Structures are given as structure tokens and as C-alpha cells.
Copies of this chain bind each other. A is one copy, B any other.
Amino acid sequence: MANAHKYVYLFSEGNGSMRELLGGKGANLAEMTNLGMPVPQGFTVTTEACTQYYNDGRQINDDIQAQIYEYLGKMEEICGKKFADPENPLLVSVRSGARASMPGMMDTILNLGLNDTVVEGLAKFTDNPRFAYDSYRRFIQMFSDVVMELTKKRFEEIIDEVKAEKGVTQDIDLDTDDMKRLVVLFKEFYKKEKGEDFPQDPKVQLMEAVKAVFRSWDNPRANVYRRMNEIPYDWGTAVNVQSMVFGNSGSNSGTGVAFTRNPATGEKALFGEYLINAQGEDVVAGVRTPSPISKLHEEMPEVYDQFAAIANRLEQHYKDMQDMEFTIENGKLYMLQTRNGKRTAAAALKVAVDLVDEGMIDEQTAVCRVEPKQLDSLLHPQFDPEALKKAAVIGKGLAASPGAACGRVVFTAEDAKEWHDRGEKVILVRLETSPEDIEGMQVAQGILTVRGGMTSHAAVVARGMGTCCVSGCGEIVVDYDAKQFTLGGNTYHEGDWISLNGSTGNIYGEAIPTVPADPGSGYFGRLMGWADKYRQLKVYTNADTPRDAAQGRAFGAQGIGLCRTEHMFFEGERIKAMREMIVSDNTEDRKKALAKILPYQQGDFEGIYEAMEGLPVVIRFLDPPLHEFLPTKEEDIAEIAQEMGLTVEKLHNVISSLHEFNPMMGHRGCRLAVSYPEIAEMQTTAVINAAINVQKKHPDWTMVPEIMIPLVGEVKELKFVKDVVVKTADALIAASGLDMKYEVGTMIEIPRAALTADEIAKEAQFFSFGTNDLTQMTFGFSRDDAGKFLNAYYEHKIYESDPFAHLDQNGVGRLVKMAAKLGREARPDIHLGICGEHGGDPTSVEFCHGAGLDYVSCSPYRVPIARLAAAQAAIKNPRK
């Protein structure tokens, strides 16, 4: 035993730096213990024990069991109470605690240690038999649900039956005998279901509870949460076994949660809420609406002052805003948890900047304190102020998560997903949300709940996701069966449009148009200023229109990394000319059709160049297969054939001649320009003429058009298209009398291009990694089809995150690094960038920083995210 690996730590043995081993909760409980704060004592079973549990085939091995019992003994000594001792019983809570906070995702068991004998002792000892039996029935209920996986529903029905017999409606109306009766009924149900008595040995209860917590690491909602938050599966969770204190032991008791600063706004003031005579689960579940923390000052001034002092000390200690749980047992304060508080983007910005101003942290630390993804919520559209003026408020709830949302009413997470999947924007309306609802919450524009406060499940999760949420609007009456709710005298049915303002709590019974956000200056401006000071990657935007270009610049883009030209071909006369080109069976006719497209395209480019005021603009030549421009429905084919003066048969022939078995790997990208060089010729003419015109209009700008050839897999292919570009461009520039430079580069999106990047770099002045296609080809699965099997892959932990959302560093990343190295060796001044959707994903941006790229390019709304992520990457691992 002496040499055994240590799997269990008393709180007094750990400290705040041991987060990987003890989990966040365990490490902070240890730290608070070391700081001499009033923490109910106990021990932590390490994350390594969890990993061992899974390695042992989901069994807690004898060694770990022995250590747990050994530490239980130590805990009994420290607490001066004993398990199963009716005189002064030790009761414990068993809680999960992972390295990263995963609120509500895993399981918790309270009041463990109660049995038929102990409950009697507790009743005597506390002189509160109702409390004792209420605690016991809660424990049976929770243990049955969490540990034994019996359905919760039957227990609630039993309570309802007992209340009905007695003719009451509130739990509070049940007396001691009723509680005893519930205990009997619950145990009967347990025996019927499980075929054995409810376990009376607290040690058995404890080991089963630890197992249940380990097991809950792998439950579906935890898996979804981890995938959303990029938490690796192999981290595992620790388990904290802590002596119970009872917030539900009378009117001099209570429980609450509080933040050192306002998690919605960042305002520096204690912020939180509490419930008298309640256990923690009551606050989090949002069943009763709690009082604001300020009221505690009135109700229990001494406790409040003690708490406020502790809160202040914790913030000073951790140098960050703290989120704390506390319980008051018979007038005595206990700290159950502290952690860095989750906060809205606005609050994150204000807190980070304030902490710098308060001298607590430096700029770099501040930059690293804001989660880049969070900025998203600041950048998305807000209600159009004019439309908002005319809209009538139909109700008001708590402003639980900021932002503006507008969507159609749905009542279940499943419906939310289903409607979303068919392209609808939805608002999820629930009495209250629970972790089972997480996927529905993820796809909703906004969340509206009837019950629950600012720290209810709905509020916490919505803020984490940056989704608008209005919670605790108690006036709403929901009828799930009829799929409708009433508010302010009106009834709203499934599918009706409503709007929510998560920053004010206002609810509107109609759709209100939204306008782009203006994160503007202030905290955002100061923090982003620091980010720009420290980052080493440039950030460009993907933009196909002057409007997108302007939006990108407003968000700080330093250029356009990807201007797709095909989207320009879909409107009105353009698509007609495009179709004419496609049905042409000779070069002459194709050229005639292309000549019609040229002025549109040139005009588009001029607009974009004007918007970018001389900043770099990388224009990608036509990429999609031509059949995408042709109709597919029979009636459209007939109509368009007539419009074009073709027989339906002829148009059918063209369409079927363009049919492809695997269009993703078909006749597209530069392959089109190899087959039809006249397309590249026209596009070059449009780019160069636009640049010439803009250059002439703005002699102070230095126009250097950058032309990007897509889907290159072989240097000769690039050379062929480049020759067409150069010949066309040189002639136009010579004729213009200007001394304009231009560049020709390529996408690296085919594995072979990455593998032969040394050769390709001889012809390419820049590389832009098209990581969407590169991911598809490297994995060998098409994004459109992978949905059918990727769920099984997540389920079996084969992939932990979507490789289209986060760049696969192990596979695709190796290709990117290889190509960057080969490219630089062959052409030291080559520019390297990325323009796939990964360009706006923080972990992928970090990878690009590490891989030595020059820039990332992403959609306008993700530009600030990329700027911040780039800064954090540079602060963590500066280049050179």
C-alpha cells in the first residue's frame, strides 16, 4: 500500500495549481482550505482514477477502492463524525469536477450516508425530523436517478399522488409523516425495479456514487458539451467527496451562488442570488425564484459581510472574477466552490480592461482573458432601432444572455433541431431548460424560459454559447400538449414569430428586423488594440461583395484573403450569359457569352477595390463545376430552354453531359480554365481592368491585384493557367501606360499540391490554404455526406471534434506545415495564408500562428475573433 500510486487527496493535501489531477473544483477547494476559508472538509478522487476506471473496463479497482475508504476514515477523523453513526452521522456530497468547468453536465449526489437508521439519528440530532426525512427522500430519489438510472418521472408521480391524497399542491405542505410515507413508497418502487432493497450501507452508497460520477463523464450531454467546448475526452473527471452542510435545515439556513462582478455586464459589485432553507440544487434548477445577494445584507448582515470579504480575497488571490457557491447552515457560512466565473463577452471585455486599470493584471494577460469565440455575440446583428420603436413589448423576463433574437416558436429541443435542420430560425420556449435540451439550445436563435434566475441552467448555458436568452418570465403559461403559450392575454402557437432582447429581457410578439452590431470603441476597442499590438499574424477577410468588404474592414480586416468570383454569376443577366457560355460547343460562342459577363465582373471588382482602399485583395478564379449554374427541376429546364432558344432536349443533353459521379472531385477549379482558357482570359481582363481604373482614380493607392488559381494539383497545371493570365494581364497593363505589378498564386487544397509545394512555389507567388477542400480530400470524406456517419464516430470517440470546424492538426496540419516549408524553401518571399473556414476558428488560428503563416482570412464577423486568437497565440508562443 505504501508504494501504491496516490489516487486520493484530502482537500488539505492539494492546492490551486493541481487542476489537472484534482479537477477545477477539487483544486479550488484545496486552495480555499489552504487560505483558511470555511470549507466543509473532504477528499478528491483524482482524474487519474477516472482514467484508470475506464482502462479497467469501467471498474474501480481494489487499490483505488482501498484508498477511497482510507481517506474516508481520515475525513471522519477531521470532521469528527462517522459514516452510519446514528448519533452524529457523516453525510457527504459526491460531485464531479473536471479540469475545465462543465456546469450541469455531470452528476452530483447529495445527502449520501443516509439510511433507515441514520435518518432517525439525524432527526434527533438536528431536532428536525421533517428535514431529516425530506433529506432522505431526496437522497433516495437522486441516488435512484443518478446512480441506479431509474426514471425520475415515477418519483415525481409518487409525490403528486401523496399530495393529491392529502389535497395539497406544494411540497412545503407535506409534513414529517408525509415525508416518511414518501421514503417508504420510494423504497418500494426501488425494490420493485431493481429486485433488491435500497442500499443501506453508506460505503456501498459511496462507491456506487463515485462510479456514477465517473460514468457520467461519458454521458451523451457531456460528450456534446465537450465537443462544443473542445475539451478532450481523455482528461476525465475528478470526484469530490465533501462533508454535507445543510442549507435546508431551517430559516436560519440557505444556499446561494454569487459572482465578484456582474457576469453579464462586468460591473464591479457582488452579484448573485440565494434561497433561504434550500439546497444548492434548488437554486441551480430554477424551480424557486431566489433573492438577489444584496438582500442577504439585510437578512443576515454578518454572514453577508463575511462572504463579501471572502469574495474579495478570492478575487485578489485568483486575479479574476470569481463564481462562488456557498451554504449557510444555522447561521454559519460555508464555501462550497469557487471558480473563475463564466461571463458574457461584454463582461469579459470590461472585466479584463478593468483589471488592467486596477493594476491587477497586464495587457497580455487581459488579452488572454477573453475567449475569442465569445466575441461572436457582440458582433452579431442587433434589432433595427427604428423597427424596435414600433414593436410592442408583450412581456419581460430576466436579461439572462445578451443579444437580439428573432425566430419561430418551438417547445422542445427536438423540434428546435428539426425546424433548424430545415432552415427555420427558432426560439426555444421552455418552462425551464435542462442539460438534455443542450442540442436544441445550440441551434436556437434565442431561449425563453418561464422559471429560473440569472444562474439557472438556461442562463448559464446560453451565455456560454453567446446565445440570446430571456429567463424567468413567470407570466407565461405554457401548454406543451397544445404547443402554445399565452402571455399578456395573447396566445402564441408553434411556428409564430417572436423576438427576444437578451440585453433587456424584453419579449416581442412579432419578428423585428435586425441590423449589424457595432462593437465600436470602449472596452472592445481597447482590448482589440492590445490584441493587435501583440499578434504576429495578419487577419484578412473573405468577401465577395463591396458590402462584405466594408464589413470586414470595419471589423479590422487588413485585406481580402478570398474573393470568390462565382457568386457574382448568379444574378439576373449574368446567369443567363453564364448559361449561354456553358451550352456553347465552341470557343467562339463561349467568348461571346463571356464578353457579356465581363463588364459585370469588372464592375464588381472595382466596387471591392474601392471598398478596400488599396489594401490587398486576393481574387480566386471560377471554382465550382459548371452544372451548378444549370437548372435541375424539370419545369425550370423547360423555362430556361425556351428563354435560351434551345430545345428542351438540347438543354437536357448539356446537363447530362455535365453530370458527375463525384462532383467534388470533378471538372472544377483550374480544370475549367485548362479546358476553357477563355474563362481565365475574361476573368483576368476583369481583374486587371478594374485595378487599372481604380489605380487611375486613386493615384495614391498602390494597386497590386492578386489572382488566385484554385484546385491546383500539379505545377504544370498552374503554369498553363498562369501563362494565360500573364499574357492577358501584361497586354492590358502595357496598354494602360501604368507601371502596375500583379501577383499570381494558388490555393493549396489538393493533397498533391501540398506534397509538391516546392515545385508549385516556383510558379506561385503566394499560397492560400483552402482547408475546407484539403480536409475533405485528406480525410477522404465529403462534407455533404459525412453527416451520415460522423455521429457514430463521435459516439465511439474516434473523432472528438468536427474536422471542418477545427483544423485537424495531426493529418491536414502536417500537410499544411509540409507545404509551408517546401514553399518557403523554393521561394523565400512567398506569402502564405489560409482562407478556409478554419481561418476564423481560434484553435486553428493558433495552429496557423505556429505553422508560420503570414495571415488568416475568415468571414467578416469572425475577423475580431481571429485577431484576438492570433494575439493569444503570439502571447503564448511568440515567433522568432
Q: Using a CB–CB distance below 8 Å, which chain A residues touch chain B? A: 660-667, 671, 674-675, 711, 713-714, 716-717, 720, 749-752, 755-756, 759, 773, 776-782, 784-785, 788-789, 792-793, 796-799, 808, 810-812, 814-815
Q: Please name the residue on chain B nearest to A711 by beta carbon.
A: B780
Distance in angstroms between the alpha carbons of A62 and B797 in the assembled complex: 70
Instruction: Establish whether residues A665 and B666, one from each chain, have CB atoms under 8 Å apart when the complex forms.
Output: no
With A674-B793, A785-B665: A779-B752 Cβ-Cβ less than 8 Å: yes
With A789-B667, A812-B752: A780-B713 Cβ-Cβ less than 8 Å: yes
With A674-B798, A751-B777: A661-B661 Cβ-Cβ less than 8 Å: no
Distance in angstroms between the alpha carbons of A663 and B784 in the assembled complex: 10
With A674-B793, A755-B814, A789-B671: A661-B780 Cβ-Cβ less than 8 Å: no
Instruction: Establish whether residues A781 and B665, one from each chain, have CB atoms under 8 Å apart when the complex forms.
Output: yes
Instruction: Establish whether residues B798 and A720, one from each chain, have CB atoms under 8 Å apart when the complex forms.
Output: yes
Instruction: Establish whether residues A755 and B778, one from each chain, have CB atoms under 8 Å apart when the complex forms.
Output: yes
- Most B CB contacts (10 A, CB to CB) among A713, A720, A756, A808 go to A713
Instruction: Establish whether residues A661 and B811, one from each chain, have CB atoms under 8 Å apart when the complex forms.
Output: no
**A675 partner residues in chain B, CB cutoff 8 A:** 789, 792
With A675-B792, A755-B778, A756-B810: A797-B716 Cβ-Cβ less than 8 Å: yes
Q: How far is the CB of A650 from chain B (nearest CB, A)?
A: 19
10 other contacts beyond A720-B796, A750-B778, with CB at 8 A cut-off?
Answer: A662-B663, A662-B664, A674-B793, A714-B798, A714-B799, A749-B780, A751-B778, A752-B811, A755-B814, A777-B778
Q: Please name the residue on chain B nearest to A776 by beta carbon.
A: B665
Instruction: Establish whether residues A665 and B780, one from each chain, have CB atoms under 8 Å apart when the complex forms.
Output: yes
Instruction: Establish whether residues B756 and A811, one from each chain, have CB atoms under 8 Å apart when the complex forms.
Output: yes
With A792-B675, A793-B717: A780-B798 Cβ-Cβ less than 8 Å: no
**A666 partner residues in chain B, CB cutoff 8 A:** 781-782, 785, 788
Instruction: Establish whether residues A811 and B780, one from each chain, have CB atoms under 8 Å apart when the complex forms.
Output: no
With A716-B797, A780-B711, A797-B716: A785-B667 Cβ-Cβ less than 8 Å: yes
Instruction: Establish whether residues B780 and A660, one from each chain, have CB atoms under 8 Å apart when the complex forms.
Output: no
How many copies of the chain does the oligomer comprise? 2
**A751 partner residues in chain B, CB cutoff 8 A:** 751, 777-778, 780, 811, 815
Distance in angstroms between the alpha carbons of A597 and B750 in the assembled complex: 40
Instruction: Establish whether residues B667 and A664, one from each chain, have CB atoms under 8 Å apart when the complex forms.
Output: no
Instruction: Establish whether residues B711 and A782, one from each chain, have CB atoms under 8 Å apart when the complex forms.
Output: no
**A778 partner residues in chain B, CB cutoff 8 A:** 713, 750-752, 755, 777
**A663 partner residues in chain B, CB cutoff 8 A:** 661-662, 785
Instruction: Establish whether residues B661 and A782, one from each chain, have CB atoms under 8 Å apart when the complex forms.
Output: yes
**A716 partner residues in chain B, CB cutoff 8 A:** 796-799
Distance in angstroms between the alpha carbons of A793 and B717 in the assembled complex: 8
- Most B CB contacts (10 A, CB to CB) among A716, A781, A792, A799 go to A781
**A782 partner residues in chain B, CB cutoff 8 A:** 660-662, 665-666
Contact residue among B793, B796, B811 (Cβ-Cβ distance under 8 Å from A755): B811
Distance in angstroms between the alpha carbons of A750 and B777 in the assembled complex: 8
- Most B CB contacts (10 A, CB to CB) among A671, A716, A720 go to A671
**A788 partner residues in chain B, CB cutoff 8 A:** 660, 666-667
Q: Please name the residue on chain B nearest to A723 by beta carbon.
A: B796
Contact residue among B661, B717, B756, B812 (Cβ-Cβ distance under 8 Å from A785): B661
Instruction: Establish whether residues A674 and B785, one from each chain, have CB atoms under 8 Å apart when the complex forms.
Output: no
Q: Please name the residue on chain B nearest to A780 by beta carbon.
A: B750
With A665-B776, A713-B780: A785-B755 Cβ-Cβ less than 8 Å: no
Q: How far is the CB of A654 from chain B (nearest CB, A)?
A: 13
- Most B CB contacts (10 A, CB to CB) among A664, A759, A812 go to A664
Distance in angstroms between the alpha carbons of A660 and B665 in the assembled complex: 14
**A777 partner residues in chain B, CB cutoff 8 A:** 751, 777-778, 780
Q: How far is the CB of A320 from chain B (nearest CB, A)?
A: 36
Q: How far is the CB of A747 from chain B (nearest CB, A)?
A: 11
Task: List 11 contacting pairs A-B, 8 Å CB cutoff, sorted by A.
Answer: A665-B776, A675-B792, A713-B781, A717-B793, A750-B778, A750-B780, A751-B751, A751-B777, A751-B778, A751-B815, A752-B808
Contact residue among B665, B798, B799, B815 (Cβ-Cβ distance under 8 Å from A665): B665
Distance in angstroms between the alpha carbons of A796 and B674 in the assembled complex: 8
Contact residue among B660, B713, B779, B793 (Cβ-Cβ distance under 8 Å from A779): B713
**A784 partner residues in chain B, CB cutoff 8 A:** 660-662
Q: Please name the residue on chain B nearest to A669 by beta carbon.
A: B780
Distance in angstroms between the alpha carbons of A667 and B667 in the assembled complex: 23
Q: How far is the CB of A712 from chain B (nearest CB, A)?
A: 10
With A662-B663, A716-B797, A720-B796: A752-B773 Cβ-Cβ less than 8 Å: no
**A755 partner residues in chain B, CB cutoff 8 A:** 778, 810-811, 814-815
Instruction: Establish whether residues A660 and B785, one from each chain, have CB atoms under 8 Å apart when the complex forms.
Output: yes
Q: Please name the residue on chain B nearest to A791 by beta carbon.
A: B675
Instruction: Establish whether residues B756 and A717, one from each chain, have CB atoms under 8 Å apart when the complex forms.
Output: no
Q: Please name the residue on chain B nearest to A661 by beta carbon.
A: B784
- Most B CB contacts (10 A, CB to CB) among A755, A788, A789, A792 go to A755
**A792 partner residues in chain B, CB cutoff 8 A:** 674-675
Distance in angstroms between the alpha carbons of A808 and B716 in the assembled complex: 14
Distance in angstroms between the alpha carbons of A788 and B716 in the assembled complex: 18
Distance in angstroms between the alpha carbons of A714 and B663 in the assembled complex: 25
Q: How far is the CB of A655 from chain B (nearest CB, A)?
A: 14
Instruction: Establish whether residues A662 and B811, one from each chain, have CB atoms under 8 Å apart when the complex forms.
Output: no
Q: How far is the CB of A299 from chain B (nearest CB, A)?
A: 54
Distance in angstroms between the alpha carbons of A793 and B716 in the assembled complex: 9
**A749 partner residues in chain B, CB cutoff 8 A:** 780
With A674-B793, A780-B750: A811-B713 Cβ-Cβ less than 8 Å: yes
**A797 partner residues in chain B, CB cutoff 8 A:** 716
Contact residue among B660, B674, B789, B810 (Cβ-Cβ distance under 8 Å from A674): B789
Distance in angstroms between the alpha carbons of A751 and B810 in the assembled complex: 12
**A660 partner residues in chain B, CB cutoff 8 A:** 782, 784-785, 788
Distance in angstroms between the alpha carbons of A782 and B808 in the assembled complex: 23
Contact residue among B662, B671, B779 (Cβ-Cβ distance under 8 Å from A750): B779
Distance in angstroms between the alpha carbons of A760 and B661 in the assembled complex: 30
Q: Please name the residue on chain B nearest to A808 by beta carbon.
A: B752
Instruction: Establish whether residues A717 and B661, one from each chain, have CB atoms under 8 Å apart when the complex forms.
Output: no
Q: How far is the CB of A662 from chain B (nearest CB, A)?
A: 4
Q: Please name the residue on chain B nearest to A815 by beta carbon.
A: B755
**A752 partner residues in chain B, CB cutoff 8 A:** 778-780, 808, 811-812
Q: How far is the CB of A624 from chain B (nearest CB, A)?
A: 13
Q: How far is the CB of A458 from chain B (nearest CB, A)?
A: 34
Q: How far is the CB of A656 from chain B (nearest CB, A)?
A: 12
Q: How far is the CB of A699 from chain B (nearest CB, A)?
A: 37
Distance in angstroms between the alpha carbons of A789 and B779 in the assembled complex: 24
Distance in angstroms between the alpha carbons of A745 and B99 in the assembled complex: 36
**A662 partner residues in chain B, CB cutoff 8 A:** 662-665, 782, 784-785
Distance in angstroms between the alpha carbons of A675 and B713 in the assembled complex: 33
Distance in angstroms between the alpha carbons of A756 and B814 in the assembled complex: 9
**A711 partner residues in chain B, CB cutoff 8 A:** 780
Distance in angstroms between the alpha carbons of A796 and B664 in the assembled complex: 23
- Most B CB contacts (10 A, CB to CB) among A661, A675, A717, A752 go to A752
Distance in angstroms between the alpha carbons of A793 and B669 in the assembled complex: 14
